Amino acid sequence: MDMWKKSLHLFISTLLICGLGIAVYVLFAQPPHKTDEIYSEALELYKNEDYSKSYAEFSRIIFTSQLKPLAIYHQGVCADKIGDLDGAIKQYKFFLLIYPNHTLTTRVKYNLAQDLIDRNPHKAGQYFESIIKSHPDSDYAIASEYYAGLLSLKKYQQEKIFPLSAKIDIENHFRHYLKKAPSGRLALNVITNWLTLDKSISKDDYLLMAKSYYLFGDYKNAAEFAKKADLKNSWALDVKISAAAGNKSRAMYLTEWGLAGNADYVEKEDVYGAIDTYMTLVPSKYDAAIKLMGFAKLRGKDYLMDIRCRYSPADEKLGCYKNLYLWFPTSEFVDDAQSQIFLHLVRSNDHENAQRIGFAFLNKYKNSTYAPMVMYYMGRLSERAKSYRDYMSYYRSVISKYPDSYYAYRAYLHMNHSHGPIITSYIKERPIEFPYQRRHVFLEKLVALKDFEVLEEYTQYDEFIKSWVLYKKGDNRQAMLVARNAMDNLTPKPDKDDLRWRLVYPLIYYNEIMNAADKAGNVAPLMLSIVREESYFDPKASSAAGAKGLMQLMPATASEIASKQSISNYNLLDPGQNLLLGNYYYAFIRSLLGDLDVSAIAAYNGGIGSVNRWKSSIYYQDTDSFIEQIPYPETQNYVKKVLRTYWNYIRIYNGNE
């Protein structure tokens, strides 16, 4: 009998051990490829809105996998989707218990707080306050400001006593939201609830509300709330509101009134914004700048002077910039003035004074946006003086310090004694890769799994990774814009082989561009550059003037070119057809302008008639001289941007530098 019991115990123990072993295997020995398959299937079910099955599938992810915390998060979201708040709350709390410092923790805490709003408002409020304290600059903290204020408001509205301190606390939450996110998705809710608070609203807070209404396009409410603010503080915003609402006379009057004695009551950027709005309402920016200078006391006067100089007739520019330099020696626009004075001396062959001012500029304004231009022309001066060592030093410095600039492109051409703007018509296609040499295997796994919802949390602290994820999602335009802005903020710039450059200058639609360029006889990388600057690779792009597609063609222009090329039934929003018509149009205007690409680029923006007029009225010695004297600032900048982009495509994808 004892032997039988021992055998039974041994048998049971063996079963338990085997069972435990199986459990351990299930929990900890799932092959990685199997985990990925399960996770991918769960995501697919989630995208198909089969949340119950998705929940069950996510539960199969083993605890030792990096994907487990993500799976638990997704389970909580799935439970939310099917209305199982108990299940969602359970998963979110479990996540916070096991992974208190995970990348997803703030998001999970926010979701949990949302689910507790009705069930346990006090606990929800604590979570919202915790998010505000721990991650004050995050989007979750901004939204939490609203919900924390709302929960306090509801709490005290249900009680007999509503202390002033509580009202002030609620106001602060709502105020912080509107200051941080005036156009946030909850901004109008903030205003609606704030107005129910039994406490007088200050004029400054009415101004915050007016700004939000303006940003949401509700100009009627924006105007009403702006009137409740102090006009000396609200006039700059009121200018924008009035202009947007079609009240041109009020917008112009308020700009003049504000500059006359109330510019110091608003932020400098808001003064500039009001001036810019005024400029959109007048036929002549030059005349408008002179008129407004008569009203301006001090703040904004230097900006108006800069606008006046920019749009001055050629024979007045030098005098205007000299006055800007003399009258406003501490202005943020004085480097612009000095660089333009320098450039005029270069064109006038006053080499001695030009070099003197150039030296002074480069010593004083090392970080100026005009520094590459001055450095380049110092090289031109040295080249004219046949000082080989000096001009090569200047050109190399431009390329080294400002590698992606228009003037680095011009320096390269002069270093290599190129007579035309085209360096090469060939670039080597290279794919967009993860933006750092050291790969991030886990993020690449999430991209492969297409878990873009979670990827947003991992990319919020690195704009280049964010750009890469946007590209992987297929949002080419936004991907490029994010990378461009991030690169603009980098000093010094990385080496040309740095993978981040490909995000700033991606090869999108390049095969289609090459085909169209080949048929029209154009240089493909140059056409690629025009596409980038015209539409940022958005095939559905449409301008206020009616230009459409990748190359932003006006329908009438497209119709004319299509007729010349015997093309019918075209669609300007079709990438291939738009590129073909755009290339034929570029080839056509280039043929009318002596087959000169610089002239054709200018005409693509400013019109053939304008370019012919400029070429007959401007005295210029070479390409540099012509471009710098294009009377339309918009067209001059456009030419420089296209050529800068062309240079960068060559630099990044063809190794030239």
pLDDT in tens, 474-509: 999 999 999 999 999 999 999 999 999 999 999 999
Over residues 159-184, the mean pLDDT reads 95
Instruction: Specify if 321 maps to a domain.
Output: no
Residue 192 sits in the same domain as residue 215: no
CATH number of domain containing 246: 1.25.40
Q: In the predicted model, is pLDDT for residue 528 greater than 70?
A: yes
Range with the lowest mean pLDDT among 16-25, 52-61, 648-657?
16-25
> What confidence tier does 441 reach under pLDDT thresholds 50, 70, 90?
confident
322 found inside a domain: no
In this structure, are 35 and 174 located in the same domain?
yes
| Residues 493 and 607 reside in one and the same domain | no
In this prediction, residue 4 carries a pLDDT of 56
Give me the pLDDT at residue 382, please. Answer: 96
Flag whether 316 is in a domain.
no
Is position 563 within any domain? Answer: yes
Q: What is the mean pLDDT of residues 3-10?
A: 53
24: confidence class by pLDDT, cuts 50, 70, 90: very low
Average pLDDT over residues 157-173: 93
Whether the pLDDT of residue 9 is over 60: the answer is no
| Annotated catalytic residue within 534, 560, 628, 634 | 534
Kindly report which listed range (10-14, 45-49, 71-75, 467-471) carries the lowest average pLDDT score: 10-14
**318 within a domain of the structure (yes/no):** no
Nearest-angstrom CA–CA distance, 193 and 203? 17
Strands (E), 245-341: none
| Statement to judge: residues 629 and 490 lie in one domain | no
Which among 102, 116, 103 is positioned nearest to 144, based on CA atoms? 116
Q: Cα-flanking dihedrals φ and ψ of residue 312, to 5°?
A: -70, 150
> Which residues are within 8 A (CB) of 71 and not within 5 positions of it... i.e. 6 or more apart?
39, 42, 58, 59, 61, 65
Residues 487 and 524 in one domain: no
pLDDT, mean over the chain: 93
Short-list 466, 456, 529, 462, CA closest to 490:
462
Backbone phi and psi for residue 297, each to the nearest 5 degrees, phi listed first: -85, -60
What pLDDT is recorded for position 159?
Answer: 87
pLDDT at 3 over 90: no
Number of domains in the chain: 6
Q: Nearest 5°: phi and psi at 566?
A: 55, 45
Output the pLDDT for position 2: 57
Element (H, E) at 159: none
User: Does 455 share its domain with 549?
Assistant: no
Domain hosting 463: range is 441-504
- Segment 348-371, tens digit of pLDDT: 999 999 999 999 999 999 889 999
Q: Are 297 and 279 spatial neighbours (Cβ–Cβ below 8 Å)?
A: no
Percent of the chain residues past pLDDT 90, beyond the cut: 88
- 307 with 361, same domain: the answer is no
Asked if residue 186 is part of any domain, the answer here is yes
Q: What is the pLDDT of residue 379?
A: 97
Decide if 57 is catalytic: no
